Chains A and B, each alone.
Chain A
Amino acid sequence: MCKVGDIIVIDNYNHDGINLSRHSFVVISDQSGKIQGIDYDLICNVMSSFKNAAQKAKKLSYPYNFPITHNDRIMQNGNNNEGYIKVEQFYYFDKLTINYKVIGALTPEVLEELITFINNINSDEINIIIDNLQF
Chain B
Amino acid sequence: MDKQRPKLVRSGKDMLTTKNNTTLNINKLIGNNPNIISSAKSLEDVTPINWSKEVLSGDKKVILDFKK
CB-contact partner of A111 in B6, B27, B49, under 8 A: B6
Q: How far is the CA of A103 from the CA of B38 in the complex (A)?
A: 25
Whether A101 lies near B58 (C-beta < 8 A) is yes
Cβ-defined partner of B30 (8 Å) among A101, A109, A123: A123
Interface flag for A134 (CB, 8 Å): no
A61 within 8 A of B: no
Place the interface of chain B in its size category: 35 or more
Question: How far, in angstroms, from A24 to B38 measured CA to CA in the complex?
Answer: 17
Q: Which residue of A lies closest to B35 (CB)?
A: A127
Q: How far is the CB of B31 from chain A (nearest CB, A)?
A: 5
Residues of A within 8 A of B56 (CB): 9, 101, 103
A78 CA / B46 CA spacing, docked (Å): 17
* List of A residues within 8 angstroms of B22 by Cβ: 112, 115-116, 119
B64 touches A23 (CB 8 A): no
Given contacts A28-B26, A108-B4, contact A103 B65 (CB under 8 A): no
B19 near A72 with CB under 8 A, answer no
Pick the residue among A50, A90, A123 that contacts B47 (CB under 8 A): A50
Which residues 18-48 in B have Cβ within 8 Å of A in the complex? 18-20, 22-24, 26-27, 29-31, 34-40, 42-43, 45-48
A40-77 residues with Cβ-Cβ distance < 8 A to B are 43, 46-51, 68, 70-77
* Cα A123 to Cα B27 with chains together (Å): 11
A77 adjacent to B61 (CB under 8 Å): yes
Q: From known contacts A20-B39, A103-B61, infer whether A48 and B6 are also in contact, taking CB-CB under 8 Å.
A: no
Q: A18-B40, A105-B62, A106-B63 are in contact. List 10 more A-B contacts (CB 8 A).
A: A5-B5, A9-B56, A22-B48, A46-B43, A49-B50, A77-B55, A105-B1, A123-B30, A126-B30, A127-B37
